[in-house]
């Protein structure tokens, strides 16, 4: 059968995912995550604001995605492609063979640190639904923000300084936005404000070995398929400071006509977006299921 994978980005992580990983992660991955996040070795319940920090969220989400993928890989057919939303592209690349999971954890921590260092002060991201794209672009430009992600023609994410977010939110509301959703992300991801982070992260990726991928990875920037590690690494660095056209990426997947699409990682936001674009193609998220067996059974039931 034809299976496509989506890997979640930041924003959907909760204390339940933290506890899930604490109960299941073992061996070297657990030791590496404890090294990066010493609190992972304790018994405390993490606060949502702490989980939203880049330095916490990026390695934590990547570890959870790789933990799930390692269990799923042996019971699912080889995917026809994978795509990752923002941070999720790190997991998509790792699953396809761009780098090992242990390297990925380290790289996620470095990615987070470089993003935080590149944008001093308070920043954020805001999802804007129900307004024309041209109007959103006008308001973001006038408030010092940038459009960071295009999820759909009337579903955009803007990013920038916190003061600009607050000013733009008032204008979006006055213009008739159907929803305004602050994201649990504290940096202006996918905007030129992170150009220095993109350049520095490209240097971190440059030393990794070349390899042909097990399956194509679609860039969240424009949906282009990478079939070699070098092309995938270049896209990983560029997307830090480049706007994402996630709608185009999902459209590419829909045109590949998969029998099923599975979202791996916290939440189900990506599966809901895909269902809007391609309602005839079965799509679910790992968070919809209670077990790996349940996921595998659903995927097999979608076989054409």
CATH of the domain at 7: 3.40.366.10
- Whole-number CA gyration radius for the chain: 18
Contact 148, 190 (CB under 8 A): yes
Same-domain check for residues 107 and 217 = yes
**C-alpha torsion 230→202→83→155, nearest 10:** -140
Same-domain check for residues 103 and 146 = no
Query: Domain total for the chain?
Result: 2
Same-domain check for residues 112 and 127 = no
pLDDT digits (tens, 9 = 90+) for 16-61: 999 999 999 999 999 999 999 999 988 888 998 899 899 999 999 9
Q: Locate tokens 């202006």: which residue?
A: 188
Our measurement of the distance from residue 227's CA atom to the centroid of its chain's CA atoms, rounded to an integer in Å, reads: 19
Q: Of 155, 182, 209, at which residue does a domain stop?
A: 182
Contact 5, 68 (CB under 8 A): no
Same-domain check for residues 201 and 98 = yes
Same-domain check for residues 73 and 197 = yes
Same-domain check for residues 20 and 103 = yes
Q: Count other Cβ atoms within 10 Å, centred on residue 11.
A: 22
pLDDT (0 to 100) of residue 44: 83
Is 187 within the bounds of a domain? no
Same-domain check for residues 38 and 101 = yes
Is 219 within the bounds of a domain? yes
The C-alpha atoms of residue 157 and residue 285 are separated, in whole angstroms, by 22
Residue 261: helix, strand or coil by DSSP? strand
**What CATH number does residue 156 fall under?**
3.30.70.250
The residues facing 7 across adjacent strands are 84, 264
Domain that holds residue 127: 123-182
Q: Which helix (H) or strand (E) holds 14?
A: none
Same-domain check for residues 144 and 269 = no
Is 8 within the bounds of a domain? yes
User: Within the chain, which residues score under 50 in pLDDT?
Assistant: none
pLDDT (0 to 100) of residue 116: 94
Same-domain check for residues 198 and 162 = no
Same-domain check for residues 296 and 283 = yes
pLDDT (0 to 100) of residue 304: 64
Q: Of 149, 164, 182, at which residue does a domain stop?
A: 182
Same-domain check for residues 67 and 156 = no
Our measurement of the distance from residue 56's CA atom to the centroid of its chain's CA atoms, rounded to an integer in Å, reads: 14
Same-domain check for residues 130 and 226 = no
Is 48 within the bounds of a domain? yes
Is 275 within the bounds of a domain? yes
Contact 19, 44 (CB under 8 A): no
Tokens of 235: 């896209």
């Amino acid at each position: 059968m034809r299976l496509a994978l989506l890997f979640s980005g930041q924003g959907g992580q909760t204390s339940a995912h933290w506890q899930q990983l604490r109960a299941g992660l073992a061996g070297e991955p657990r030791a590496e995550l404890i090294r990066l996040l010493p609190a992972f070795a304790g018994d405390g319940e993490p606060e949502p604001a702490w989980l939203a920090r880049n330095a916490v969220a990026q390695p934590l989400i990547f570890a959870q995605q790789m933990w799930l993928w390692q269990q799923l890989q042996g019971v699912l057919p080889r995917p026809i492609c994978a795509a990752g939303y923002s941070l999720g592209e790190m997991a998509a690349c790792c699953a396809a063979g761009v780098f090992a999971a242990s390297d990925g954890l380290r790289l996620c921590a470095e990615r987070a640190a470089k993003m935080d260092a590149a944008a001093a002060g308070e920043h954020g991201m805001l999802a804007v639904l129900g307004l024309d794209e041209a109007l959103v672009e006008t308001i973001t430009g006038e408030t010092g923000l940038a459009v960071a992600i295009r999820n759909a023609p009337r579903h955009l994410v803007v990013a920038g300084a916190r003061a600009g977010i607050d000013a733009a939110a008032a204008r979006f509301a006055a213009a008739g936005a159907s929803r305004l959703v602050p994201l649990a992300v504290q940096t202006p991801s996918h905007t030129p404000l992170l150009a220095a982070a993109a350049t520095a992260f490209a240097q971190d990726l440059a030393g990794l070995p070349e390899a042909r991928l097990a399956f194509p990875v679609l860039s969240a920037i424009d949906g282009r398929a990478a079939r070699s590690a070098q092309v995938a690494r270049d896209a990983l660095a560029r997307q830090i400071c480049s706007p994402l056209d996630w709608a185009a990426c999902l459209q590419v997947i829909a045109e590949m006509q998969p029998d099923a699409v599975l979202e791996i990682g916290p939440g189900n936001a990506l599966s809901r977006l895909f269902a809007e674009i391609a309602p005839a193609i079965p799509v679910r998220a790992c968070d919809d299921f209670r077990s790996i067996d349940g996921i595998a059974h659903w995927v097999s039931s979608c076989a054409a």
